[in-house]
Amino acid sequence: MSSAKFLRLVTSSYIILFFAYLFGPLIVMSITAFNSAAFPRLSPWDCFSTEWFGVLVNDARMMGGFKNSLIIGISVVFVSVPMGLAGALMLGQLSNRVRPVFYTVTISTILVPGVVLGISTLIFWDRMGMMFNAGYDSIFYDGIVLTIIGQSTFISAYTMLVFISRLQRFDPVLEEAALDLGATNIQTFRKILLPFLKPAIGSAAVLAFLASFENYNTTVFTIVSESTLTTVLASKVRYGINPSISALAVIIIGLTITAALIHEVLKRREQAREIALKKEGQVGNVKTLSRTAFRKPVTLMVLLIFVAGLSTVWMARAYDVNQCKIEVSEEKRKKQEELSKKRLLEMQKRLESQEAASANGSDSKSSKTAPGTDQYGSIFAPTNLEGQVESTEDQKENSKTPKNQYQNIFAPTNLEGQVESIEEKTEASKTPKNQYQNIFAPVNLEGQVKSEKE
């Protein structure tokens, strides 16, 4: 393999991996929209169904958020595109010393986080409403109006960058020539500059609409009590989702691809028309360009998706979704029964093993194995103490006979022979003794104290 072929192979592999990384999640999410499962998943596959598109249409909250997103997006386009165009034109009229400062100030809104823009917009217009003593039903507290204003503060900077890049290729001599020929400034703008900026206006409008449609950080603070599509989707993701979100993704992807395809076709027709006008008799080149359009990978991918969609719809005509759901539920029930049977068998095996272990324990008890063996078979078995605990009769006999060992030091029998009986005490009290057996006994004073009679 030559180095050129190896380089081409590596480049092709990298491009395939790159596009798989970009479009892989979108493809997977689009496929989950046609699964009848209650949660968006690709495996295990239940049944092919388009019911989630109906669920999406019947979701009033989702449709309300989608409607608000369209209103806000279109309004942001009408606000941010003229602001960006005015900023780009003004930037071209300033001197070289002031131009960097103006450019930095207008672009700084892009660098500010969306959370800061949303909070600052909400607080500013709240103070303005308090200044004019406006009620909560006024435009100062309208969530849609605040969202349009908050999003336009940074989206207009995006549109301005688009117009600046387009104006860099504009020749100011055309404006000067029109003014010298007697045209006014408005006529010069409408007849010369505006047609030149037509592609930039379209690009800026599309960019502004998409940036507004998908914005969340600023919208979540400025929308107040209303909701947009992004805020509704965020709440659904937080509390639980269903494949209707995948159906929405399919619709958005389909609209985007369709719009891109239409734009590409119109662009190629315009290029072919320009070539035909420049060179007479080259009408055949128009057919050549239209034929080469089918060799592009994007066109082929769109064509394959379109054919796959048509074939899917055609095959779904003879497909019964309800019958498939019944079959899937029956299979799940059978799997659940098999699983429960396996669990019962495992429990029976455990019980049998426990009974066998108890039977082995009773056999070991009958064999009277003494403790102290090498193997600790059942250290808690009561039979391990046999031969070490004396019977009650042996204890009684041992209690009658004194022993030198301290078998039971608290037994009353240990004091036999040491404590004298009551009779011996009385006899000892009658006879005096030299030893101090009982120094407090009255008999110790006999013969020393005279009686009262004497």
Give yes or no for residue 38 having a pLDDT over 90: no
Q: Tell me how far apart the alpha carbons of residues 91 and 87 are, in angstroms, rounded to a whole number.
A: 6
Lowest mean pLDDT among 120-129, 260-269, 287-296, 308-317: 287-296
Please tell me the predicted confidence (pLDDT) of residue 433.
Answer: 47
DSSP state of 193: I
* Both tokens assigned to 439: 């120094």
- The answer to whether the beta carbons of residues 381 and 365 sit under 8 Å apart is yes
400 beta partners = none
Q: What is the mean pLDDT of residues 81-110?
A: 90
DSSP letters for 387-414: TTSPPHHHHHHHHHS--SS-S-TT-GGG
Q: Tell me how far apart the alpha carbons of residues 80 and 90 are, in angstroms, rounded to a whole number.
A: 15
3-state secondary structure of 41: coil
Q: What is the mean pLDDT of residues 423-434?
A: 51
Q: pLDDT averaged over the chain?
A: 78
pLDDT band at 161 (very low <50, low <70, confident <90, very high): very high
Cite the DSSP H helix spans in 227-320.
229-239, 244-278, 283-292, 297-315
Q: Tell me how far apart the alpha carbons of residues 261 and 402 are, in angstroms, rounded to a whole number.
A: 114
Give yes or no for residue 198 having a pLDDT over 70: yes
Lowest mean pLDDT among 6-15, 213-222, 255-264, 364-373: 364-373
Domain residue limits, the chain: 60-241, 242-319
73: closest CA among 145, 156, 148? 148
3-state secondary structure of 169: coil
Give yes or no for residue 76 having a pLDDT over 80: yes
- The answer to whether the beta carbons of residues 157 and 191 sit under 8 Å apart is no
Phi–psi pair at 242, nearest 5 degrees: -135, 170
Lowest mean pLDDT among 43-57, 91-105, 247-261, 270-284: 270-284
C-alpha separations of 123 from 30, 130, 141, 199, 232 in Å: 40, 11, 10, 37, 23
Q: Tell me how far apart the alpha carbons of residues 292 and 278 are, in angstroms, rounded to a whole number.
A: 20
Domain 60-241 coded CATH 1.20.1740.10: no
Cite the DSSP H helix spans in 94-142.
99-111, 114-131
Q: Tell me how far apart the alpha carbons of residues 237 and 229 are, in angstroms, rounded to a whole number.
A: 12
DSSP letters for 200-214: HHHHHHHHHHHHHHT
List % helix, strand, coil for the chain (3-state, nearest 5). Answer: 70, 0, 25
Give yes or no for residue 302 having a pLDDT over 80: no
Q: Tell me how far apart the alpha carbons of residues 114 and 220 are, in angstroms, rounded to a whole number.
A: 10
87: closest CA among 168, 179, 163? 163
Q: Tell me how far apart the alpha carbons of residues 122 and 115 are, in angstroms, rounded to a whole number.
A: 11
- The answer to whether the beta carbons of residues 117 and 125 sit under 8 Å apart is no
Give yes or no for residue 428 having a pLDDT over 60: no
Return the percentage of the chain with pLDDT > 70, whole number.
70
Phi–psi pair at 437, nearest 5 degrees: -75, -40
Please tell me the predicted confidence (pLDDT) of residue 85.
Answer: 93
pTM of the model: 0.66
65: closest CA among 188, 243, 245, 206? 245
- The answer to whether the beta carbons of residues 153 and 76 sit under 8 Å apart is no
Lowest mean pLDDT among 304-313, 341-350, 354-363: 304-313
CB atoms within 10 A of CB 244: 21
Please tell me the predicted confidence (pLDDT) of residue 379.
Answer: 58
Q: What is the mean pLDDT of residues 164-191?
A: 89
Q: How open is the CA angle 311-313-319, to the nearest 5 degrees?
A: 110
Lowest mean pLDDT among 103-117, 251-265, 272-286, 420-434: 420-434
Q: What is the mean pLDDT of residues 132-143?
A: 87
**Radius of gyration for the chain, computed over Cα atoms and rounded to the nearest angstrom:** 49
Please tell me the predicted confidence (pLDDT) of residue 439.
Answer: 61
Please tell me the predicted confidence (pLDDT) of residue 327.
Answer: 79
Q: What is the mean pLDDT of residues 305-317?
A: 64
